[in-house]
Amino acid sequence: MDFRERILAAMNHEEADRVPVMGLIMDPTTVNLVLEKKPVDFAGLLKRPVWGLLIRYLMNTNWFWRRMYYGNFAGSLKSAIKLGFDANWTIYSLMKLNREPESALGWAWHDPFGRVWELGRAPDGSMAVNYTRGLCETEEQWEAWVEQKKPVYEALIKNVRVFHKKLVEKYGERIYPIGYAAPGIFENSWQPMGFVNFTKMIYQKPDFVKRIVDFQTDLYMKYLDAVMESGVEVVLGGDDLGQKTGPLMRPELIEKLYGNSYRMVADRVHEKNKKFVFHSCGNIYQLLDKFVDWGFDGIITMEPTAGMDLGKVREQVGHKLVLVGNLDVSYLMVRGTREEVDDAVKKAIKDAGRGGGYILSTCHSHPFVDPKRLEWMIDSAHKYGKYPLSV
Amino acid sequence: MSGDVLNQLKSSLLELDMEGALAAARMVREDRQVAVEEAVAAVSEALKVVGSRFQEGEWFLTELVYAGEIAKEVMGLLSPLMETGAGGLGTVVVGTVAGDLHDLGKNIFINYARSAGFKVIDLGMDVNANSFVNAVKENSPFALGMSCLLTSTDGEIVKVVEDLKKAGLREKVRIIIGGAALTEQFAETAGVDAFAKDAITGIDIIRNWSGG
Ligand code: B12
C-alpha cells in the first residue's frame, strides 16, 4: 500500500496496512533543521540599506511572492518526505509589506482580509510571522477595505490554484500534499476587526455581521474551489473555534452566524467528491456534534493542552468523523523523551486507530517542534500502527 | 426608586443590554438619588455573577467580553464622579511575555481589572523582561500580571522574576500569571505568587491582595 491509499483508506474509515502519519510542517525553523539549511535572516536583511530596499520592492511583486511562498512549502514537503510522513499540509497566503511604525521591525505584512502580521525573528534567525491586530475597526473601514481589495482577491484565488497544483505535480508522487484553505470564514470575519470589536458588532450591528459573514463565505467558497483544483481527494479547512476551556462563542451563536456557511462548505467539497477535514484549536467537545451535523468528514488538531483526548472524542462521535491528531507541541514534541513520545503514539493509536478513520499527527505546527521527535513519532507509528492493531 | 436604578444597572448588565445599562448609569449621574459608590458596587456585583457564569461554562467568551465592554462604558460615566477616581484600588502592570503575541486573554483581564477599580498599565504583548522591570520601577504597582500562551516562552516569566530580584523589586510587587501554557505547578516552580486559570479568578486574587 502506498501513502495515498493509506490516507484514503483512513478517510473512509477502513484499516489500511498501518495508521498513516501526517506532518504539519510549515515553520521555516523546522524546514531548515530537517534539510540542514542555513536560516535566511529576512528580518535582518530588511534593515540593511540596499538589501532592505530590494526585499521591500520584491516582496510586493506577485512574481517574487509566489516563488517565495512556493519555495517555503516545497521545503515543507521535502522535509516531510525526508522524515517519512505519508502526507503534509500546504497553505498559501498573500501579503503586502507595509511600513508599520508600531511594529518591532518597522515593517509588517497586511493580508487581503485586513489583518496585520507582525514580522519577527524565530530563535534561529529565520522569519516568524504572526497575526497581531486588525485594520478595520468600523463598518465604513471594512466596506472600503474589501472594495479596494477586490482585484487582490482575484489574484489570490489565481495564485492559490497554481500553488497547490504545482506542489502536487512536483511532490505528489512522493507524499500526499493536502491543501489547506485558511484562514476560514470565522477567522476572516473577526480578526480584521479584533475580537472585542467584532463581539460588539454581533450585539450592536447584527446586519453588518451577517454581511461580513456572507461576504467571507462567498470568498471562501472560491478559495476552496481553487484549492480543490490541485486534484487531491482531501481538503483541509479551518478556523480556531476553541480556546483553552471551551468554544470562543456559545455553540448556538456559532450555529446562527456560521452554521449555514459551514454546511455550504461541506456540500461544495462533497459535490466535487472530496472529503473535508476541519482544523480547530482549543477545547471543542461542545462543537463535535455540530461538525457532524454540518457534514464535515474529519477534524484535525484536538489540542491536548486544551483537554482534548482522542479516546473521548471517539467515544462522543464514533466513526462519524475521521480524527487527525493530536500529539502535544508544547512539551512532548519539543522536549519529550523517546519513551514519552513512544507512549503518546501508542496511546493515540489505541484510542483512535481501531476501524481506520485515524491519521496520526502533531496537534499543531510550532517552530520549536524538534525533527528528532518527529522521527521518533513516525518510528513508533510504524511499530504500533500495523493493522490489525495489537495495542 | 434608588433600588430600581441599581437593579436596572445590574439586570441590564446581566442581560447584555448596553443601552439599558448606560441609561441606568446616566440616571445615577443626573438624579443623584443613589451614591455613585453604590452604583459602582452594583456593577461589581453583576461582574461577579458574569464571572461565575463564565467559570461554570454557562457563558462563553463573547458574553464575557461584551459584559466587560458594557461595564467599561458604564464605569466611564460613573468613575469621574467617584471621590477616589478611577483606579482607586491600586496599580497593576500587565503584559504578554517576550516572543508571545497572544493578547485576547490579557486584554480581557485588563478590561475587567479596570472595571473592578484598578489602574492598569498595559505594556502590550511581546514585552521583554527589561520593560517589565522598568515598568515596575516607574509605577510601583502592587501587582504585576503576565500572560503567556506558548510553552516556548514560559521561561520569560522566570527571567522577569530573576530580574526583579536583581533589581531589588521582587519583594515590592506580587506576581500573577495566566494563559494557556501555564499551570499551578509552573507558577510554583517559577516563583510567582499566583496562577489564574481565567481572568475572573485573576481579579479575585488581586482584589484580595489589594484588600479591596
Ligand atoms: C487565537 C490563537 C492564536 C492567534 C492569536 C491572536 C491574538 N492577537 O491573540 C494567532 C493566530 C496569532 C496565534 C498564533 C500562534 N499560536 Co496560537 N492560539 C490561539 C488559540 C486558538 C486561542 C487563544 C486565545 O486567544 N484564547 C482566548 C483567550 C481569552 O484565552 P486565554 O488567552 O487562555 O486567556 C484566558 C485565561 O488564560 C486568562 N489569562 C490570560 N492571560 C492572563 C494574564 C493574567 C495576568 C491573568 C490573571 C489571566 C490571564 O484570562 C483569559 C480569560 O479567562 C490557542 C488555543 C488555546 N488553547 O488557547 C492557540 C495556541 C495558544 N497557539 C499555539 C501556537 C503553537 C501558536 C503559534 C506558534 C502557531 C505557529 N506555528 O505560528 C503562533 C505563535 C504566535 C506568537 N509568537 O505568539 C498553541 C500553543 C502551544 C503551546 N503550549 O506552546 C495553542 C495552545 C494552540 C495549539 N493547538 O496547541 N494563535
The residue ranking higher by pLDDT, B103 or A77, is A77
pLDDT tens across A137-173, in order? 999 999 999 999 999 999 999 999 999 999 999 999 9
What average pLDDT does the structure give for chain B?
A: 91
- Report which ligand 1 atom has the smallest distance to the Cα of A368: 68
CA-closest residue to ligand 1 atom 63: B150
From CA A389, how far away is CA A381, in angstroms rounded?
11
Secondary structure of residue B88 in the 3-state scheme: strand
- Asked if A243 lies within 8 A of B103 by C-beta distance, the reply is no
Secondary structure of residue A145 in the 3-state scheme: helix
Cβ pairs bridging A and B (under 8 Å): 64
According to DSSP H, which parts of chain A are helical?
Answer: 3-11, 28-35, 42-47, 49-59, 62-83, 139-148, 150-171, 185-190, 195-204, 206-228, 251-254, 260-271, 288-294, 310-317, 332-335, 338-352, 371-384
Q: Among A355, A275, A344, which Cα is nearest to A310's? A: A344
What pLDDT is recorded for position B61?
93
Q: Which residue has the cell 530563535?
A: A123
A contacts of B59 (beta carbons < 8 Å): 250
**pLDDT band, very low/low/confident/very high, at B53 (cuts 50, 70, 90):** very high
pLDDT tens across B112-149, in order? 899 888 999 999 999 999 999 999 999 999 999 999 99
Q: What is the DSSP letter of B97?
A: B
Please check whether residue A43 is in contact with residue A28, taking contact to mean a CB–CB distance below 8 angstroms.
Answer: no
Which among A104, A132, A247 has CB closest to B60? A247
- Asked if B62 lies within 8 A of A104 by C-beta distance, the reply is no
State the distance from the centre of ligand 1 to the C-alpha of A385, rounded, in angstroms. Answer: 32
Q: Dmax over Cα atoms in chain B, in whole Å? A: 57
- Residue B71 has, within 13 A of its CA and on its CB side, a CA count of 30
β-pairing verdict for B143-147 and B91-96: parallel
CA distance B184 to chain A (A): 14
In sequence order, which residues have a C-beta less than 8 Å from that of residue B3 and are 6 or more positions away? none
- Asked if A367 lies within 8 A of B181 by C-beta distance, the reply is no
From CA A344, how far away is CA B212, in angstroms rounded?
46
From CA A7, how far away is CA A188, in angstroms rounded?
29
B contacts of A246 (beta carbons < 8 Å): 57, 60
Give the residue ranges of chain A where pLDDT is below 70. none
Tell me which architecture the domain covering A3-38+79-94+138-384 has in CATH.
Answer: Alpha-Beta Barrel (3.20)
CA-closest residue to ligand 1 atom 84: B150
Residue B119 burial (10 A CB sphere; 0-12, 13-18, 19+): middle
pLDDT tens across B14-41, in order? 999 999 999 999 999 998 888 888 898 8
Is pLDDT above 60 for B1?
no
User: What are the extents of the domains in chain A?
Assistant: 3-38+79-94+138-384
**pLDDT band, very low/low/confident/very high, at B84 (cuts 50, 70, 90):** low
What pLDDT is recorded for position B85?
58
In chain B, the DSSP E strands lie at 91-96, 119-122, 143-147, 174-178, 194-195
- A102 touches B: beta carbon within 8 Å: no
DSSP string, A298-325: EEEE--GGGT--HHHHHHHHGGGSEEEE
- Report which ligand 1 atom has the smallest distance to the Cα of A306: 57
- Residue B103 has, within 13 A of its CA and on its CB side, a CA count of 24
Q: How far is CA A198 from CA A376, B85, B204, in A?
A: 43, 30, 27
Q: Among A216, A210, A219, which Cα is nearest to A191's? A: A216
Give the domains, in start order, of chain B with CATH numbers: 2-81 (1.10.1240.10), 91-210 (3.40.50.280)
CB-defined site of ligand 1, < 6 Å: A 27, 130-132, 240, 243-244, 281-282, 301, 303, 305-306, 329-330, 363-366; B 61, 94, 99-106, 108-109, 145-147, 149-152, 176-181, 196, 198-199, 202
- B69 touches A: beta carbon within 8 Å: yes
- Asked if B66 lies within 8 A of A104 by C-beta distance, the reply is no
**pLDDT band, very low/low/confident/very high, at B152 (cuts 50, 70, 90):** confident
